Structure 1
Amino acid sequence: MRLLRPLLLASAMLASLPVAAQELRIGFKAAVTGADPHQNYTPNRNVQLHVYEPLVLQDPFMRLQPGAASAWRNIDPSTWEFTLREGLKFHDGTPVTADDVVFSIRRASAATGLRTFVAQTRNVASVEAKDPRTVIIRTTAPTPLLPVQMAVIAIVSALAAADAGEAEFNGGRAAIGTGPYRWVRYTPGRDVVIERAASHWREPEPWERVTFRFISNDSARVAALLAGDVDVIDNVPPSLFGEVRASDRTQLITTPGLFTLYMYLDHFRDQVVFATGPDGQPLARNPIRDPKVRQAMNLAINRVALAERGMEGAADPIGQFAGPGFIGHDESLAPPRHDPAQARRLLAEAGYPNGFGLTIHCTNDRFPGDSRTCQAVGQMFTAVGIRTIVEPLPAAVFFRRANGNATQDPEFTAFMAIFASSTGVASESMTTILRTRNRATGAGSLNRGRYSSAALDVALDRVDSIFDDAARERAMGDAARIAIEDNAIIPVFSLRASYGLRRGLSIVPRGDQYTYATTIRVAPSR
């Protein structure tokens, strides 16, 4: 509660400001690829949540708040009831009914491709309209986290979206939601324009029009802010923090974030291409399958140096799946200490007294500092005897090779990428990146190392069955401890959300690093 109180006070202050006909211009690093809210892609969702609303909203620490639903309750362990807001309407003036919610959840659960909501709807057995304002969701098993999972499913108009495809959403015909803004224009590769909705259940927004300009180049995005071409930018690179702070026209805001850099490890191959003996020859067995080798790799990483120097203060060391204040954070799981001497001893005990060779892969354009961090980790591994070659790749190439597909396994042996669950819940992160893969339920959909642990699966099953919030968070810590002690994956640091604003504006920063016009206001005069 201590963490939330300042944010709640700030939100109340922002809501009290008068409505004015103004335009807000946001410089956005990632290009939006479409208006269909049932394709689960973070940059798209950031913009789409201005237009569409889920049943349940999330505060800056991802805790739940009423959204399109004014209330929800579990009738029995496998049945949830959601009550829609009275008088809720779509942007075209038609009333929102339970049938629209049923349509939306079914549509989201049926979406195909890499960016789906199958994990969030994995336990949904049926969705029914009890009456025009009441939705009943039945699950295949007790699902205490269902409201959290519903927080990422946007409600669309069944009338407008029926049989609609990409063109209908992007053009605006099907892009009908209940949010504080309505969809106006999408220009691929350039911008998205939204305008204040004629009415909304919250106080009217002060911004009549909001433009999200796509400026992928970090220097160009900062230059646009400094020149006054945009009012706000996201993802300020740490190397340019000083420029934003130094200008008398701009200000820098940072906050702890959800996105965590992990080192994924190959757990499923007996032999690997990217690990070799001291002489460069292939190894008879995959060294990473040895727990002592994984622990040695973990201890070789100096997280404090990476966060403070390598990332120039734009990251926080982490040793688990949720940072302080977020759902599932466990105070007892501190970031591992940097202990190169112990790492060398563990390698010797594992049968590698002379170390071995390793190639690690990472992105070079996913976040500011990704390639530099990867190079630093490679040097840390080399210092303990794991002679490391670093291969940074463009994200489009990296993820194609790292994820694999239905007919091809992931290629890499040790590789680094950032991840955050859209729910902001630690157990959902583990379900996505570490649970034993199950295509039917969506579990392990991004389990790139093909890790499988019966103990972890059972622990996560237990989390999924507990309805008491405090007890469930303790159980998340128990599950996280299993994965961390086994070095199933190696958390390195969490990225801080960073925003540049022109002076005279204020923002309530979010842990998911989203940039919401609804949290940006003209600062009150002092």
Structure 2
Amino acid sequence: MKRISFRAVAAAIAALASALAGHAAATAQELRVGVRAALDTADPASSYSPNRNITLQIYEPLLLQDASLKPVAGLAVAWRMRDPTTWEFTLREGVKFHDGSPLTPEDVAATIARNMATEVPQTYKSDIREIVSVEAEGPRTVILRTRAPSPQLPFGIATFGIVSARATRDATPEDFRGKAAIGTGPYRWSEWTPGQGVTLTRNPDYWGAKPHWDKVQFRFVPNDSARVASLLAGDLDVIDAVPPGLTQRIEASSNAHLLSTTAIMMLYLQLEMGRAQSPYVTDADGKPLPKNPFQDIRVRHALSYAINRAGIADRAMEGAAEPAGQFMAPGLDNHDPALKPLPYDPAKARALLAEAGYPKGFNITLACSNDRYPGDARVCQALGQMLGAVGIKTQVETVPISILFRRRSAGPNGLPDVPAFMLGYGAPNGLATSALTSLVQTQDRDRGRGGNNYTGYSNPKLDAMIESAMVEPDEAKRAALVREATHVAIGDTPVVPVYFTKAIWGLRRDLTLTPRADSFTFVDTIRPAK
């Protein structure tokens, strides 16, 4: 009889256990995603990017956005403009909500009405402001009528998810943590622990390709080093917003890798120019100036010349950014390759300041976030030094993004309580007209204009150019109008583009994903690497 050694049996059992463990890990289909910015409401009417990153995986738009934010078929399989003020959308057949009820035109109408009426801080109102009615023609046809020609409406329709009319009737934002959390997406809402994370579960009845993951945990990890360390330790499978200073740690790892793309997010300075005299700008001796220097275009140009954008992109951002001289990044709608950033020229900046009557410069405060964009606090310090070098002595204040959002309208007449601040903007629909409307058009809340224009800047000629571009049905003519309006806005310089961010993800070595210009981490694109 052949004798079997105890040592051989033990080795065989260990090998089998290891194989079974590996098989279990491979088939568990649980994904752990670390994100920098936390969800602040579960309400899908919020257009705040960290919220959309999660809610759009539960509630799907009529039209989806591809990786470069172009509209593609989603809950609607076809769409056409019947006439300049009428759009027709054909719903996909057989789509069901998570509770088993069918998708109908009434759900589309209820979603649009709710988005128009919502009081959440950041909304989709600018994307649907021209819609005056939603009508049903049979069970699968939705008719949207607009008050003016809206040739770009499909881009706006692709930004927000459709909710169930039945489940959301009289729903409050809190109800989207429970009874109202009914979408059509590949994943279902499961649990939200504020400040910690969100859990989603697979929708087994999804109309499209079956979701790969049974369970997805979004963990909020605002500390960059902690997020990277968790990926390298195997506690997270995917992380977003990898900061430039930590990319080498991932590149040097044997169990993780990086993926990146140029993103829609533009970091920019806004200069308060709405007051004839600013209490927040003082002379070299600390005394209030008799007039607001930022109302002088020479001063605004001087500030732009003082910024070494290439230095910020290469050093402060360690290559994870691209210098910006306009509102749209390369590859996006109406990016103009001919529109370059102003060159770094401190001598010209000082000459312009002297010409404007400020040979000794003046003192300002520059406020920036320290928890929203990769490298934001570090870039802010660099900007302060650059401005100081030409005579604009700058006190830098970095604060949480929630505080910065409040400060941009905390001064008299709803203007900022600081003369300059840095924020990021990326048009959710990927349209240059949206960037123009939001950042530089005269602020008019009722009409959805100037939503992010906190400068006090108003140029009626530019407003008219933007309005013309928005209603022009011919794509080539519209592009020419957008290009002209962009050149005027950049020339006036109420907003100073600094750089476009790069969206960078860290992933477990055996995973891949589709990088998106909006920086969203859509888990239905995360798959085992081939």
The answer to whether the Cα contact below 8 Å between 2:46 and 2:122 also exists between their aligned partners in 1 is yes
**Equivalent runs, 1:344-493 vs 2, <5 Å:** 344-404=350-410, 408-493=414-499
Tell me the distance in 2 between the aligned counterparts of 1:199 and 1:473. Answer: 42
Q: What SS does the corresponding residue of 2:127 show, helix, strand or coil?
A: coil
Q: Is the 8 A contact 1:20 1:207 kept in 2?
A: no
Per-residue deviation, residues 458-478 of structure 1 (Å, max 9, x unmatched): 111111111233432332221
Out of 186, 195, 205, which is 1:189 matched to? 195
By how many angstroms is 1:101 displaced? 0.4
Q: Which one-letter code corresponds to 2:499 in the other structure?
A: F
Please name the residue that 1:8 is paired with: none
CA contact (8 A) 2:377 2:398 kept: yes
Partner of 1:268: 274
**Cα separation, 1, equivalents of 2:249 and 2:164:** 45
Q: Does 1:54 align with 2:81?
A: no
From 281, 290, 295, give the equivalent of 1:284.
Answer: 290
Which residue of the partner structure matches residue 300 of structure 2? 294
- The question of whether the paired residues in 1 share the 8 Å contact of 2:90 and 2:140 is answered with yes
Range that drifts further, 146-155 or 508-517: 146-155
Gaps of 5+ in 2: 1-25
Instruction: Report SS of the residue matched to 2:115.
Output: helix
Larger deviation, residues 399-408 vs 198-207: 399-408
Deviation of 1:405 after TM superposition, in Å, equals: 8.8
Candidates 288, 310, 317, aligned match of 2:316? 310
What amino acid maps onto 1:448 in structure 2? Y
Q: CA RMSD in A?
A: 1.6
- Distance of 1:460 and 1:107 partners within structure 2: 27
Contact 1:402–1:412 (Cα < 8 Å) also in 2 = yes
Displacement of 1:223 in angstroms is 1.1
Per-residue deviation, 1:119: 1.2
Which amino acid in 1 is paired with 2:240?
D
Query: Residues 235 and 195 from structure 1, CA distance in 2 versus in 1: closer, same or farther, beyond 3 angstroms?
Result: same
Q: 1:166 aligned to 161, 168, 173, which one?
A: 173
2:317 and 2:190 mapped to 1: Cα distance?
37
Contact 2:268 2:496 in 1 (8 A): yes
Number of positions where the alignment pairs a residue of Structure 1 with one of Structure 2: 505
Q: Which amino acid aligns with 1:143?
A: S
Offset, 1:283: 0.7
Deviation at 1:189, TM superposition (A): 2.1
SS in 2 for 1:497: strand
Structure 2 counterpart SS, 1:336: coil
Residue identity matched to 1:169: F
Contact 2:36 2:224 in 1 (8 A): yes
Task: Kindly indicate whether residue 119 of structure 2 is the aligned counterpart of residue 120 of structure 1.
Answer: no
Specify the alignment match of 2:154 in structure 1.
147
SS at match of 1:126: strand
Letter in 2 for 1:316: E
2: CA distance, partners of 1:113 / 1:523: 39
| Shift, 1:162, TM fit | 0.9
Q: Which residue of 2 aligns with 1:7?
A: none
Pairing 1:120-139 to 2, within 5 Å after superposition:
120-139=127-146
- Which is worse superposed, 425-434 or 497-506? 425-434
Paired with 1:406 and 1:116, the residues of 2 have a C-alpha distance of 24
Amino acid at match of 2:108: V
- The aligned counterpart of 2:6 is none
Matching of residue 255 in structure 1 with residue 261 in structure 2: yes
Instruction: Give the corresponding residue for 1:95.
Output: 102
Q: Does the Cα contact within 8 Å between 2:274 and 2:415 map onto a contact in 1?
A: no
AA matched with 2:523: A
CA apart distance, 1:248: 0.3
Amino acid at match of 2:106: D
1: CA distance, partners of 2:269 / 2:241: 22
Q: Given the alignment, which residue of 82, 85, 104 partners 2:89? A: 82
Alpha-carbon separation, structure 1, partners of 2:106 and 2:410? 37
1:105 positional shift: 0.6
Distance 1:129 1:406 in 2: 46
1:381-405 superposed Cα distances (whole Å, 9 cap, x missing partner) = 1211222222222222221111349
Letter in 2 for 1:176: I
TM-superposed deviation, 1:102: 0.5
Q: 1:157 aligns to what?
A: 164
Corresponding residue of 2:3:
none
Say if 1:291 and 1:405 are closer, same or farther in 2 by CA, change over 3 A.
Answer: closer
SS in 1 for 2:78: strand
Equivalent position SS for 1:102? helix
8 A Cα contact 1:81 1:135, kept in partner: yes
Residue 358 of structure 1: CA displacement?
Answer: 2.1
Match of 2:22 in 1: none
Correspondent of 2:224 among 196, 218, 221: 218
Larger Rg: 2
SS in 1 for 2:114: helix
1:110 matched to 2:117? The reply is yes
Amino acid of the structure 2 residue aligned with 1:205: P
Query: Does the 8 Å contact 1:455/1:482 carry over to 2?
Result: no
Aligned letter for 1:38?
A
TM-score, length of structure 2 as denominator length: 0.92
Task: Decide which moves more: 190-199 or 264-273.
Answer: 190-199
Structure 1 residue 91 displacement after superposition: 1.6
| Aligned partner of residue 447 in structure 2, secondary structure | coil
Secondary structure in structure 2 of the residue aligned to 1:437: coil
Whole-Å separation in 2 of the counterparts to 1:389 and 1:169: 42
Give the match for residue 340 of structure 2. Answer: 334
In 1, Cα distance between the equivalents of 2:325 and 2:170?
A: 45
Residue range with higher mean Cα deviation, 352-361 or 260-269: 352-361
2:422 aligns to what SS in structure 1?
strand
Work out the percentage of aligned pairs sharing the same amino acid.
48
Aligned to 1:66: 73
SS in 1 for 2:126: coil
CA distance in 2, matches of 1:445, 1:67: 28
State the Cα distance separating 1:37 from its structure 2 match.
0.5
Tell me which stretches of 4 or more aligned residues in structure 1 moved more than 4 Å.
Answer: none
Q: Aligned equivalents of 1:405 and 1:442: distance in 2?
A: 22
Q: For residues 285-335 of structure 1, give each alpha carbon's deviation from its aligned partner in whole angstroms, at most 9, with x where no partner exists.
A: 001100111111111100000011011111111110111111121111112
